Amino acid sequence: RRDVLVLTPWLAPIVWEGTFSRDILNAQYMQKNLVTGVVTFAVKKYWFFIEGFMSSANKYFLAGHQVNFYLFTDNPEQISHLQMAPENHLFVITVQNHSQWQDISMSRMDIISRYIRSQFQYEVHYLYSIDIDVQLFEHIGVEIIDTLMGTISSWQYTARRESKSYETRTESQAAIPKEEGDFYYTASFYGGSVAEVYKLTRACFKGVMEDRENDIEARWHDESHLNKYLLYHKPTRLLSPEYYWDEEL
Amino acid sequence: RRQDVLTVTPWLAPIVWEGTFNSEILDSAYRPLNLTIGVTAFAIGKYTRFVGHFLESAEKHFMKGYRVNYYIFTDNPETIPNVQLQPGRRFVIVPIKKYPSWQEISMRRMEAINKHIAETSHREVDYLFCLDIDMVFYNAWGPETLGDIVAAIHPGYFNVPRSQFPYERRRSSAAYIPDGEGDFYYGGAVFGGLVKKVYEFTKTCHMTILMDKANGIMAAWQEESHLNRHFLSHKPSKVLSPEYLWDDRKPKPPEIHLIRFSTVDKNYKEVRD
C-alpha cells in the first residue's frame, strides 16, 4: 500500500488491508496458544444489538483462535441462546445501569480495570474493548494482536490536527495542548495485553473521576481520555479506519 | 515517509529506513526507561586491529545518550587499545579461545554470546546487539533499532529476487531453505534484541550448527546461513534496512539515503590468516 501511511513516526505498524499476510501471522500465533478476551457492554436498550454483534463476532473475530467474550449487561434475561464456536466462550456479567449514557460509557473504564484485576488477568493474554453496536462483515484476525492497540477513527482520518476532536479545555484531565496529537483514536475498539489495558483503563477512569470532582465533563467522554492516554503512551500498533466504521459516513 | 521502499513486512514488523521514524518521539519514549544497551563484538587474531576505530565511531554515533556496555571477545587482551568512552558507557574484555579456522571462529560466536548472556550480560543489559568488529559507524544508530528480535537486511541482497539469496540449499544441512521460501536475506554482521530473546536464538543457532558438525557439513555462509534459517521460522519483530549494515565496496543506490554502519575495506586473505 503506497497510498496510505503504514508506519507511525515511532515505528508502530498501521494495519491496512494489503499490508499483511494473515497466514504468516496465524502461523506465528498458533505456536503460542493465546487466549484473547473481548469486553462489550449491552446496557438498557443496547440489548437489541447483542445477537447481531455476538453472531458476527463469533464468526469473524479471531476465527480459529480461543476467544472469551465478556458481555456486561443489566438485562441478562434478554439474552437468547447464542451458539458459540468450539474455541470461544461467552460469559454474561450483570451490571447496574446508570441514568445517562455518558455515565455508562465512562464507568466502562472502571468496570474493565476492576475485572482485569479480579478475573481477566488470569484468563486471557490480550483484551479488547469493542462497542456492541457494531457488526463484523469481514474477518478481523491476529493482525490486531500487540501490546497496546488503538484504532484510528474514520471520522478523523483526514482531519488536520486543529480540527481533531480532542478536549482542549485545560481544566479537564483529558486536555491535549494545541500543537499536539498524533491521531484521533476511537473508544469503540481498543486493546492490547491485559497489563497494558489495565494501565490504560485505570488512567482513563482516574481522569474521569478528577473531572467529575472539578465539575467538568470531557467533550467526547471516555474517548477524550483515551486519546490523551494514547498520546503520551504511544500504541505499539494502530488499526486503520477499515477496522472501525461508522455507517453515517 | 518513504514510498520507494517496503517499510513494513507481511508480518507487520517495521523495516527501519531513514525517513520512516522521528528520533525525538522515540527518544522521549525510550530515555525514561533507563535502559542499558549491550554490544558484543569479536576481535580474534588480527581482527584486534579494528577495535579502536569501531569503538571511536560507536562513541560518536551508537545509542548516544544511553548507557552502553561494549563486550569485546578476544584471544589477545593486550592488543586491545584503550579507548576513551563517554560517561555511562563501559568497556569489558571477554577472553575466549581462538579456533584454528576463521569459519570455526565465526560459527562459535553463537555459543560464546549465549554463554556470556547466561553468565553475565543478562544481569547488565536490557537489549543486546551482536555486531561484527571490522566495521565503522558513520551516522546515528539510535532507539529506532530497539525491538524484541532484530535482524538486518544484507546489503548485497536487498534488491535481488529471492531465488538468488545465498541460503544453504543442501537438504542435509540444518540450515536448509528450499527454493521458493524465504522473506529476506539477513546479514550475520548485525543482529540483536531483548537480551532474553538473543539468548534463545543464539542457543537455537548453536544447536543447528552442532547438528551440521555431527553430519560433517558446514553451511554455505556459516552462522549467517543458520541465522537465516532461524529467522524464516521465527520472524524478527523489527528489520533494519541495509543502512545499518552496509558494504563500502558497493556503490550507493538511490534507496540508501544514509549509511550508518559499514565494512572497513580490508584484505580478507591477509587478515583471516
Each residue's pLDDT, cut to its tens digit, for chain A (249 residues) gives: 788 899 999 999 999 999 999 999 999 888 788 999 999 999 888 888 999 999 999 999 999 999 999 999 988 887 778 889 999 999 999 987 766 656 776 789 999 999 999 999 999 999 999 999 888 888 999 999 999 999 998 666 666 666 678 888 888 999 998 888 899 999 999 999 999 999 999 999 999 999 999 998 888 889 999 999 999 999 999 999 888 765 544
CB spacing of A9 vs B29 below 8 angstroms: no
A246 dihedral zone (left: phi>0; alpha: psi -120 to 50; beta): beta
| Residue B17 contacts residue B5 (beta carbons within 8 Å) | yes
Q: List C-alpha distances in Å: A226 to A129, A183, A189, A231.
A: 12, 11, 11, 9
The position carrying cell 500500500 is A1
The 3-class SS string of A143-163 reads HHCCCEEEEECHHHCCCCHHH
* ipTM beyond cut 0.85: yes
pLDDT of residue A3: 84
Instruction: For residue B134, give the 3-state DSSP assignment.
Output: coil
Which residues of chain B carry a pLDDT beneath 70? 269, 272-273
Among residues 3-42 of chain A, which lie with CB inside 8 Å of chain B?
A: 5-7, 9-13, 15, 19-21, 24-25, 28
CB contact under 8 A, B8 and A19: yes
Residues of B noted as catalytic: 224
Alpha-carbon distance of B82 to B173, in angstroms, equals 42
Give the position of cell 466504521.
A245
pLDDT of residue A112: 96
pLDDT at A249: 41
CB of A110 closer than 8 Å to CB of A96 = no
Contact of A194 with A125, CB cutoff 8 Å: yes
Sign of CA dihedral A227, A229, A232, A237: negative
Q: What is the distance between the alpha carbons of residues B203 and B225, in angstroms, rounded to a whole number?
A: 15
Alpha-carbon gap, residue B12 to B32, rounded angstroms:
26
Q: Is the pTM of this model over 0.90?
A: yes
**Selected residues 223-242 of chain A with any CB under 8 Å from a CB in chain B:** 234, 237
At CA A143, angle to CA A141 and CA A144, rounded to 5?
85
Q: Cβ of A13 and B238 within 8 Å?
A: no
Residues ≥6 apart with Cβ < 8 Å to A67: A35, A36, A37, A38, A61, A87, A88, A89
Q: Is A43 annotated as a binding residue?
A: yes
The answer to whether B230 faces chain A, any CB pair under 8 Å, is no
Cα torsion A70, A75, A78, A81 to 10°: value is 30
User: Helices in B15-142 by DSSP H: which ranges?
Assistant: 23-30, 51-61, 102-107, 109-119
Phi, psi values for residue B80, rounded to 5°: -80, 120
pLDDT for res B264: 82
How would you classify the pairing of strands A126-130 and A185-193? antiparallel
A31 CA: distance to closest CA in chain B (Å): 10
Percentage of residues in chain B having pLDDT higher than 90: 87
- Put simply, the answer to whether A28 touches B11 (Cβ < 8 Å) is yes
Measured CA distances, B31 to A196, B28, B121, B176 (Å)? 19, 6, 20, 41
Question: CA–CA separation, B174 vs B182, rounded Å?
Answer: 15
* Amino acid at residue number B155: P
